[in-house]
Amino acid sequence: METTLRGVGVSHGVAIGEVRHMGTAVLEPPAKQIPAEEAEREQGRARQAVEAVAADLTARGHLAGGEAQAVLEAQALMAQDPELMADVDRRIAVGSTAERAVYDAFAAYRELLAGAGEYLAGRVADLDDVRNRIVARLLGVPMPGVPDSDEPYVLVARDLAPADTALLDPALVLGFVTEEGGPTSHSAILARALGVPAVVALPGAGELGEGTMIAVDGSTGEIFVNPSDEKKARLEAAAAERKAALAASTGPGATADGHKVPLLANVGGPADVPAAVEAGAEGVGLFRTEFLFLDDNKNAPSEEKQVEAYRQVLEAFPEGRVVVRVLDAGADKPLDFLTPADEPNPALGVRGLRTLLDHPDVLRTQLTALAKAAEGLPVYLEVMAPMVADRTDAKAFADACRAAGLEAKFGAMVEIPSAALRARSILQEVEFLSLGTNDLAQYTFAADRQVGAVSRLQDPWQPALLDLVALSAEAAKAEGKSCGVCGEAASDPLLACVLTGLGVTSLSMGAASIPYVRATLAKYTLAQCERAASAARAADTAEDARKAAQAVLSGE
């Protein structure tokens, strides 16, 4: 019998296939005591397993490239955390086996984080994945990972670690469904980059039987269990129609009446550039530079290395706009040489621009490298600071840019509610705003973007979030300056229309989403987008806001 379930759609497209569940390692090794003379050998086994897992994660990152590389290298650093390793050694010294010591040390760290309410790179799925990989290696059992199959399937898991998502084969994995996660989790972002349909935060996903036929709609978040032939045909027809519309839509982003909305790409480095160019990106709206700094967690990359990497991206968009975010370190991207290890709540501590202002030499080197990378190129370079809280922050960043001799526009990211509320003040110091809706939602609703239980508060359709977007866009218009969106909200075609209606002047997203957004924008006039935006803001819930906007745009 056909049934319908609903999660959160995070990556467009339709997938129809049989369920295959993610394999897991043996999670809890047996507890047994070892003689004291074996402690040194067990400590060596633990260190070897940790180094092997870190090397594997780093290798996967290099293979995947781009944004996935930064995520996986952060996991590798987590595996080698010196405090965790010290705890493992201590547990072995008092009689634990290597595998049990690793298991217990990670459990204690996990409990500590949960009790302190911290927002670290060791978010639950990532932390558990690292632990399982180390324990699996020590026990000699298969690593957790995607199932072996010769036939395409829909992957179902409690959650997907970045290491698994980054290397999914779209030829075999038609789509995936997870019980945990949210619309801005690492796995959701990487799924969009891969172009794999995905639904997260689906209660009871693990109860879907192995081999069950399901249809996944990554746009609506609907899961159809045992769909009828008629339902399959309708979904496939809708997918084919959508594909045809995408193919027919080319050129710059614009509404039906010619209002230009530049469609830009979010990139993590040179590896992401080919997909962005192929998708017709008009430039880069968010160049995340963290990937370069994660190569060596102990030292900042040299100016020469930075110049080389930045120039590769800038050269790909002659006459185009490239917006570079300077290093956003701290919280979920800790760096040993920059971020303190003992902050009680790093997401609310020294991160982003605050970190750079505490280490002006790192900021100065990066800005100088960007200036040199842009020399002689016809690209329109813009540089922005993450986590700007007020005018004082904005002025400090602009002053640093000028001191480095950077000939570019200086901007501020709006990720903290205070920046949206005081956007006009901030614009006295900088020339543009860029809304990072992922963090803006997280801070507005006090809802960690990795926690599936609060996914409704991470929904970018939340009217309160739309209000903050509107405030920022209105401030920029009043100052005669631009205000873009570079968070994942821009990748939702319907929401892209609403953001345009709110006054946003450009949209930046993962390359795979650009054709969807371009085709949808071209169907509606600016006036229709403005009416949809007003209807969405008048709603009280994210679901009602989406329905209200859809009703306006469909003429209901």
CA distances 502 to 424, 472, 537, Å, are 16, 9, 10
Q: How many CB atoms lie within 10 A of CB 278?
A: 11
Which residue, among 250, 278, 294, 204, has the nearest Cα to 19 in the 3D structure? 204
Strand partners, 506: 484
Instruction: With beta carbons less than 8 A apart as the criterion, state whether 215 and 230 touch.
Output: no
Catalytic site residue from 12, 21, 359, 486 = 486
φ/ψ of 125, rounded to 5, equals -60, -40
Which residue, among 538, 525, 535, has the nearest Cα to 556 in the 3D structure? 535
Kindly give, in sequence order, each residue whose CB lies less than 8 Å from that of residue 529, ignoring residues fewer than 6 positions away: 255, 497, 498, 500, 501, 553
Strand partners, 457: none
Q: Is residue 383 within a helix (H) or strand (E), and if so which, with residue range?
A: strand 380-385
Instruction: With beta carbons less than 8 A apart as the criterion, state whether 460 and 183 touch.
Output: yes
> Measured between alpha carbons, how far is 513 from 195 in angstroms, rounded to an integer?
8
> Measured between alpha carbons, how far is 170 from 163 in angstroms, rounded to an integer?
15
Catalytic site residue from 12, 21, 186, 359 = 186
Verify whether residue 186 is a known catalytic residue: yes
Q: How many CB atoms lie within 10 A of CB 222?
A: 18
> Measured between alpha carbons, how far is 261 from 361 in angstroms, rounded to an integer?
37
> Measured between alpha carbons, how far is 19 from 297 in angstroms, rounded to an integer?
39
Which are the catalytic amino acids?
186, 486
